Amino acid sequence: MMHCVKPSTADDRRENILRRAKPRRHGDRKLTPREVNEMRSSFWRSAPQTYGGQPAIWRALEDAAACKDNLYYAQAIIDTYMIRLEKPDMTVCYDDSGHRYELPLYVLVDPTNMVYGNGNIIERIRQHRR
């Protein structure tokens, strides 16, 4: 007797839901928005050569990361390119051939030690709430 296995695509999709990454500190010093943008650009430019994988997947991950304020569009990109999320914040992903893609948190969200003008806005807000 033969048994057919039904693909669990619905379950896979339910488990492959993108969540907003939680900001954390990056490094020991304060960073300006310009420095963070330069770090992001440098990462995306070098990632395909440094870490391997498919250039189209790297571009899709960059596009999804750029949609950080709109998870609906980011999720659509993830689904379109059949990217599997090991971690829902997109820091660890796999393409359909099984290649692993690791993204630093600073490409997904602004670090908490990023300064705007005269001081860190996020730290000011946290102190104000206390």
Could you tell me the CATH number of the domain that includes residue 99? Answer: 1.20.225.20
Residue 16 lies in a domain: no
DSSP string, 1-36: --------HHHHHHH----PPPP---SSS-B-HHHH
Q: How many structural domains compose the chain?
A: 1
Comparing 47 with 123, the larger pLDDT belongs to 47
Has residue 10 been placed in a domain?
A: no
For 81, residues 6+ apart whose C-beta sits below 8 A from its C-beta are 56, 57, 60, 95
Residue 71 domain flag: yes
Residues 2-13 pLDDT 10s? 333 333 444 445
Range of the domain at 36: 27-129
Question: For residue range 66-121, what is the model confidence (pLDDT) as tens digits?
Answer: 997 899 999 999 999 999 999 999 999 999 999 999 999 999 988 888 887 755 55
pTM of the full structure:
0.76
Q: Give the contacts of 36 (CB within 8 A, at least 6 positions apart).
A: 26, 106, 110, 111, 114
11 domain residue, yes or no = no
Cβ atoms of residues 106 and 24 within 8 Å: no
